[in-house]
Structure 1
Amino acid sequence: MKLLLLNDSPLLNYGLASGFSANDDIRFLPVHLPNWDNLFEDLMRTWKPDYALAEGVSISTVARNLFPLLRRHSLPLIYWAIDDPPDWHRMSRPLARGARLVLTPAKECLPLYQREKIRAYYFHFACNPSFHSPRQPLPEYTCDLLLVANYYTSYPQRKVGIETILTPLLRGEFKLNVFGNEHWLSNTDHYTLSQNIYHGYLPYARLPSAYSSAKIVLGLHSVTNSPTMMSMRTFEVLGTRAFFLTHWTPAIEGLFKNHVHLVWSRHPDETLELVRFYLKRDDLRAKIARQGQEEVYRNHTYHQRIESIRALIEKK
Structure 2
Amino acid sequence: MKLLFLNDSSLLTQGLASGFSSEDIIRYLPVHLPDWEDRLEHLLKAWKPNFALAEGVSISTVARKLFPLLRRHSIPLVYWAIDDPPDWRRMSRPLARGASLVLTPAEECLPLYHRDKIRALYFHFACNPSFHRPVEPSLEYHSDLLLVANYYTSYPQRAIGLETILTPLRSEPYQLKIYGNEYWVSNTDHYSLPSNVYRGYLPYDQLPCAYSSTKIVLGLHSVITSPTMMSMRTFEALGCRAFFLTHWSPAIENLFKNHIHLVWSRHPDETLELVRFYLKREDLRLKIARQGQEEVYRSHTYQHRVQSVRTSLETL
With normalisation by structure 2, the TM-score equals: 0.99
Contact 1:185–1:194 (CA<8 Å) still a contact in 2? no
1:264-283 aligned at under 5 Å gives the runs 264-283=264-283
Contact 2:170–2:194 (CA<8 Å) still a contact in 1? no
Q: Deviations over 1:82-127 (max 9, x none)?
A: 0000000000000000000000000110010011110000000000
3-state SS of the aligned residue for 1:164?
helix
**Counterpart of 2:98?**
98
Q: Share of identical aligned residues, percent?
A: 75
Amino acid at match of 1:284: L
**Counterpart of 1:246?**
246
1:205-216 aligned at under 5 Å gives the runs 205-216=205-216
With normalisation by structure 1, the TM-score equals: 0.99
Comparing 192-201 with 145-154, greater Cα deviation is found at: 192-201
Q: Give the C-alpha shift of residue 188 in structure 1.
A: 2.0
1:274-313 aligned at under 5 Å gives the runs 274-313=274-313
Amino acid at match of 2:169: L
Q: Give the C-alpha shift of residue 172 in structure 1.
A: 3.5
Amino acid at match of 1:314: E
Q: Give the C-alpha shift of residue 241 in structure 1.
A: 0.2
1:189-268 aligned at under 5 Å gives the runs 189-268=189-268
Q: Give the C-alpha shift of residue 189 in structure 1.
A: 1.3
Distance 2:267 2:95 in 1: 37
- Aligned CA-pair RMSD: 0.6
Amino acid at match of 2:196: N
**Counterpart of 2:126?**
126
Distance 1:268 1:172 in 2: 12
Gaps of 5+ in 2: none
Q: Deviations over 1:268-293 (max 9, x none)?
A: 00000000000000100000000000
Distance 2:6 2:74 in 1: 16
Distance 2:93 2:270 in 1: 38
Q: How many residues align?
A: 316
**Counterpart of 1:42?**
42
Q: Deviations over 1:64-87 (max 9, x none)?
A: 110110111010000000000000
Q: Deviations over 1:227-264 (max 9, x none)?
A: 00000000000000000000000000000000000000
Distance 2:237 2:90 in 1: 30
Q: Give the C-alpha shift of residue 313 in structure 1.
A: 1.4
Distance 2:187 2:241 in 1: 33
Distance 1:296 1:227 in 2: 18
Distance 1:61 1:19 in 2: 28
**Counterpart of 2:178?**
178
**Counterpart of 2:81?**
81
Q: Give the C-alpha shift of residue 173 in structure 1.
A: 1.4
Distance 2:315 2:170 in 1: 52
3-state SS of the aligned residue for 2:145?
strand
Q: Give the C-alpha shift of residue 45 in structure 1.
A: 2.2
Distance 2:13 2:118 in 1: 27
1:51-62 aligned at under 5 Å gives the runs 51-62=51-62
**Counterpart of 2:28?**
28
Contact 1:132–1:237 (CA<8 Å) still a contact in 2? yes
3-state SS of the aligned residue for 2:156?
coil
Gaps of 5+ in 1: none
Amino acid at match of 2:16: L
Q: Give the C-alpha shift of residue 193 in structure 1.
A: 1.9
Distance 1:153 1:276 in 2: 27
Q: Give the C-alpha shift of residue 194 in structure 1.
A: 3.3
**Counterpart of 1:67?**
67
Q: Deviations over 1:147-198 (max 9, x none)?
A: 0000113111101111000001011310000000000001121112233100
1:137-176 aligned at under 5 Å gives the runs 137-176=137-176
